[in-house]
Amino acid sequence: MEQVLSGSWKLTLNCTRAEAESISADEFALAMLEPMPALMTSERVADDADQWQLDAYFEDKPDDQTVAAVRALVPSAAEADITLQPVDEQDWVTISQEGIEPVHTSRFYVHTSANRGEIPQGVRPLRIEAGRAFGTGQHETTLGCLTMIERMKASGARFHNIADVGTGTGLLAFAALNLWPAAAVVASDIDPVAMEVTEENAKANGVPLGRLPGQLALATAAGIDHPLLHRRAPYDLIIANILAGPLVELAPRLTSVLAEGGTLILAGLLDRQAATVATAYRRQGMRLAGRMAGEWPTLRLVKRTRYGIGRVRRPGPDGPGLAPGFGSW
């Protein structure tokens, strides 16, 4: 008789490519479920948009309500049979990282302990395990942000005060601190587990933690709702790789803590959602300055300069400076 690892169950549903690409935007529908599944999508038949598969992994056997919630993510499977089965005892790190390849950009090499391979010369290696938090670098949204900030660095952009909102694993905050090592960087996430993972990853990658320039500060927060995030504003660079809905909702608050001329990098949105997200930020005085195209685009926006008596002054290292909108939340 096969030995089964207690708490290991797998639910499989057939789906389409479009459904697979939309699942990340709908995962909040599962946030309150116990057990909370880990979702993975893959092609069943290469280059066939109708032949994809959703696998949901659970720590415990899911009940009918949980199964129904997962099925709701895949409308095409509303009447289809499902496969729910215990999973044989095996290395769950290997399962979660199956099929993951290292990410090699112009300045970084992002890998897991299972796929380290030979690290190329001239790049900064970052070990980010797939597991408890989102953002290993393999997803197009994270890769898009990583590439965008690399391009800004290559063009001569300089930033001194950076926030990574919705940091996940901390990857983008680590990369920003590496690109601008004298900057003050803060990483935040609404999920306390994500902040635990970020702290673990920082230590594993030799990223200094603290609240001084050249160090990474951490804050568990919904959006920017944290005293530390308020005190450190205004920022000249904010990275927010979240989801389209929260990005639209956060538009007034994110822009309120961004300095005039500051840059905002947005990701986590599908191509069909880009116009809606960009419009929400234009209404807050932002202009679209760049875009990385694709099914999961990355937007680069810049805060317009405003003039008038309503501009708020804030002390800074070079004397009193102007921080429009600061303190207006």
**Do residues 238 and 257 lie in contact, with contact meaning Cβ atoms separated by under 8 Å?**
yes
In a domain, 109, yes or no: no
| CATH number of domain containing 265 | 3.40.50.150
Is 178 flagged in the annotation as binding?
Answer: no
Domain count, the chain: 2
pTM (two decimals): 0.69
In a domain, 128, yes or no: no
| CATH number of domain containing 39 | 3.30.70.260
In a domain, 207, yes or no: yes
| H or E segment to which residue 279 belongs | helix 274-282
In a domain, 103, yes or no: no
| H or E segment to which residue 202 belongs | helix 192-204
Residue 288 β-bridge partners: 301
Q: Which of 55, 90, 125 is the last residue of a domain?
A: 90
Q: Which of 20, 55, 90 is the last residue of a domain?
A: 90
In this structure, what token pair is assigned to residue 255?
């822009």
Domain limits for position 74: 4-90
In a domain, 117, yes or no: no
Q: List per-residue pLDDT tens for the chain, 329 residues long.
A: 233 344 478 889 998 888 887 775 445 556 556 556 777 777 788 778 888 888 888 877 888 888 888 888 888 888 888 888 887 655 444 554 555 567 888 899 998 877 777 888 899 999 987 655 445 445 678 889 999 999 999 999 999 999 999 998 899 999 999 999 999 999 999 989 889 999 999 999 999 999 999 999 999 999 999 999 999 999 999 999 988 889 999 999 999 999 999 999 999 888 889 999 999 999 999 999 999 988 889 999 999 987 654 454 444 444 434 433 332 22
In this structure, what token pair is assigned to residue 8?
């290991």
Is 81 flagged in the annotation as binding?
Answer: no
Is 131 flagged in the annotation as binding?
Answer: no
Q: Are residues 202 and 308 in the same domain?
A: yes
> What are the angstrom distances between the C-alpha of 203 and each of 134, 167, 197, 227?
18, 16, 10, 24
In a domain, 110, yes or no: no
In this structure, what token pair is assigned to residue 86?
């215990």
Q: Are residues 154 and 39 in the same domain?
A: no
In a domain, 184, yes or no: yes
Among 309, 296, 307, which residue's Cα sits nearest to residue 269? 296
Is 189 flagged in the annotation as binding?
Answer: yes
Q: Are residues 47 and 178 in the same domain?
A: no
Rounded to 5 degrees, what are φ and ψ at 24? Answer: -60, -35
Q: Which of 31, 58, 90 is the last residue of a domain?
A: 90
